[in-house]
A and B are shown apart, each in its own frame.
Chain A
Amino acid sequence: MFYREAGQFKTSYKADQALMPILQDRVGLIAILGVAFIVIPAFANDFFLTSIMIPFLVFSLAAIGLNVLTGFCGQLSLGTGAFMGVGAYAAYKLTTIFPDANVIVMVLLSGVFSAAIGAVFGLPSLRIKGLYLAVTTLAAQFFLEWCFIRIPWLYNNNASGAIEVPHREMFGIVVSGAEATPIVRYFIVLCITAGIAFLMANVLRGRIGRSWMMIRDMDIAAELMGIRPLQTKLMAFAVSSYICGVAGAMMVFFWLNAAEPSSYSIALSFQILFMVILGGLGSLGGSFMGAAFIWILPVFLKFIPGTLGFDVAAETVEHVTFMIVGALIIFFLIVEPHGFARLWQIGKQKLRVWPFPY
């Protein structure tokens, strides 16, 4: 009744090939963007922005990055955390080497370094696939983590071994460093995430995205049809690592303010992988939903005992959170292995035929 194609006639190829052919989808997207750009900044307090919205957007971007590789190109990776770390360290080095440059440009540029390293570690994917490849990406994870600890040049020979975000201003507004206000950080993160998501939505339905999906579905058949596996796989690794690198740089510049090598450990890789799987492999919208679920659920669980009047030790809550997250992951895999994105599609289909069941 509210959501159906009936009556929406396309009169040009351009309209037919649009990103969102259905009017209601466009309205919905504008509404979501309106909430994100106007309603949340207007009403949210600092706590909500810094501990929910900013991390959520950063993780969404990282999940999109991993989804490009795992969901669209079919290459399982456990090295996401390290690639994010490369972005963060590259951004840190760039901003300290060029103190006058625009920090947002530096953050976007740092992804290039991450992409280069990602492509190098993607090379084995030409020979091996599946779980074997997952183990080789573990090599990237542990090797890069070791680099972050053992190469003092990367953190400018700090005594603490951590990177701290320098104070930077842009058009008279503090954009990074401890003094930057949450609202400024939020807008920067939102713009970068929305921009990259929009870009990827178009790349993925074009020639490049389709060749990735061909490789995912059957690489030999794709090769016979004229897709070059070398370029295609390496490009997937590079693009994925670029996005993850930007997410990692944003994580330290606009959220944490400081990061240590342990911030980019294998636990982060798993967290991103959970987001991708629960959100739905091969779905951009799913990446956002998965990130929201994995990030917001523990925050939410932390406040339940307090509001119900129980006095529970913080450790106990943390342990129970682990148990619940683990159990929920298994539960969702059993109930809907294709993730929230599939639930979303089912919901849309139901709306389309409503009030009839079929």
Chain B
Amino acid sequence: MLYDIFIDPFVQMYEMPDFFLQVLWEGFVAGILYALIALGFVLIFKASGVFNFAQGIMVVFAGLTLVGLHENGVPAYLALILTIGVMGVLAYGVERVVMRPLVNQPDIILLMATIGLTYFLIGFGEFVFGGEPKQMITEELGLPTGSTAFEFGERGLVILQHIDIAAAVIAVIMVAALGIFFNKTRIGRALRAVADDHQAALSVGISLNQIWAIVWFAAGLVALATGIMWGARSDVSFALEIVAFKALPVLILGGFTSIPGAIVGGLIIGFGEKIGELYWGGLVGGGIESWLAYIIALIFLLFRPQGLFGERIIERV
């Protein structure tokens, strides 16, 4: 028993390095996707202090809109532009209808409002596009679909899907673009000001409402990119929503307010989950992927309650 837990997995890793590398790669890709969802959470949390539960469903909704438009005869790139437009309308609507009347309410009320939004978007998405899974239009969008096998060692083989590489590249580009946007542009600086202090930002003439609409739009764009990447790996369906819960432990690891934290947290969870499942999962009957991420986050929290890169929690009495 002890041998199975402490020695056997490492022996396996050593004896089959190609399999281990494949597992690492899978973990890396899963981690990137978790990180992308977490990124959407962080954007909104930073700017408005709202824990946006609807980010997961926004991913599904963006993917469904894109595919649904294409199925109705809209060319792929035009559908992409239209979907961006839809996410913009959604962002504006959310700011106008949900966020603005709920300013200054306690956290839990805002959280509930985004859960309400989740329900609404589930119903709306199914009503308009139907509930069955759809195929993502990967080729039409010009994304690569093949795979490359690398020789490794004497008999090993590591297979990389091109779409996964594209996902990693796009994630890096997106984080870089967001970094530039936050640091170099006027709106980005306004966003950071709002994140620091709402009242001070208001007093220097920054419109909170406008900023919130922009930030929800940015989160919508992140959701669209995530939806495309995730949809290309499997189907676009509402089952993605349950996977989106995985972004929560990622956030805990990285801290709610840190963009680099979201990326690092995503990678830790991705690696931990895949390695845990494949090398240790068999001991307890498999399927531990569904909760391992939460337990990792839970143990981590006991030692560092504010996350890796989170701001220190200071309490005043």
Contact = CB atoms under 8 A, between A and B. Distances in A.
Scoring B105, B122, B291, B317 by chain A CB atoms within 10 A of each residue's CB, the highest score goes to B291
Interface in A126-147: 127-128, 130-132, 134-136, 138-139, 142-143, 145-146
Interface in A305-358: 315-316, 318-330, 333-334, 337
Interface in B119-145: 119-124, 126-127, 131
B107 interface: yes
A146 to B, nearest CB: 5
Interface in B88-128: 97-98, 101-102, 105-109, 111-113, 115-124, 126-127
Given A128-B305, A138-B248, A145-B290, A333 B112 contact: yes
A330 B114 CA distance: 8
A11 B205 CA distance: 62
A273 B112 contact: yes
A329 B112 CA distance: 8
A76 B123 CA distance: 26
A136 B248 CA distance: 9
Interface in B283-317: 284-288, 290-291, 294-295, 297-298, 301-302, 305, 315, 317
A333 B108 contact: no
A135 B249 contact: yes
Contact of B297 (A135, A150, A325): A135
A139 B298 contact: yes
A33 interface: no
Given A135-B297, A138-B245, A139-B295, A333 B51 contact: no
A138 B242 CA distance: 12
B120 A330 contact: yes
Nearest to A149: B287
A128 B256 CA distance: 14
Interface of A is mostly: helix
Contact of A320 (B97, B123, B290, B315): B123
A56 B314 CA distance: 42
Contacts of A132: 252, 301, 305
Contact of B301 (A128, A318, A322, A329): A128
Contacts of A270: 115
Contacts of B126: 315, 318-319, 322
Contacts of B121: 326
B171 to A, nearest CB: 23
Given A322-B122, A326-B117, A326-B121, A143 B305 contact: no
Contacts of A304: none
Interface residues of A, number: 48
Nearest to B112: A277
A290 B194 CA distance: 36
Contacts of B119: 322-323, 325-326, 329
A133 to B, nearest CB: 9
Contacts of B97: 330
A124 interface: yes
A146 B123 contact: no
Contacts of A321: 123
A318 B297 CA distance: 35
B294 A138 contact: yes
A266 interface: yes
Given A329-B116, A333-B116, A337-B109, A220 B131 contact: no
B250 to A, nearest CB: 10
Given A326-B121, A327-B120, A130 B107 contact: yes
Given A127-B301, A136-B294, A220-B315, A329 B115 contact: yes
A151 B248 CA distance: 26
A136 B295 CA distance: 8
A39 interface: no
B302 A127 contact: yes
A221 interface: yes
Contacts of A315: 126, 131
A131 B252 CA distance: 9
A165 B308 CA distance: 47
Contact of A277 (B108, B118, B124, B285): B108
Contacts of A273: 112, 115
A127 B287 CA distance: 29
A218 interface: yes
Given A142-B294, A326-B116, A221 B284 contact: no
Contacts of B123: 319-326
Given A146-B290, A220-B317, A124 B131 contact: no
Given A128-B305, A146-B288, 14 more contacts: A127-B305, A131-B107, A132-B301, A132-B305, A136-B294, A139-B291, A142-B294, A143-B291, A266-B245, A319-B127, A322-B126, A327-B120, A329-B112, A330-B120
25 contacts: A124-B302, A128-B305, A130-B107, A132-B252, A136-B294, A136-B297, A139-B249, A139-B298, A143-B291, A145-B291, A150-B285, A220-B317, A266-B242, A273-B112, A281-B108, A315-B126, A322-B122, A323-B119, A326-B120, A326-B121, A329-B115, A329-B119, A333-B105, A333-B113, A334-B113
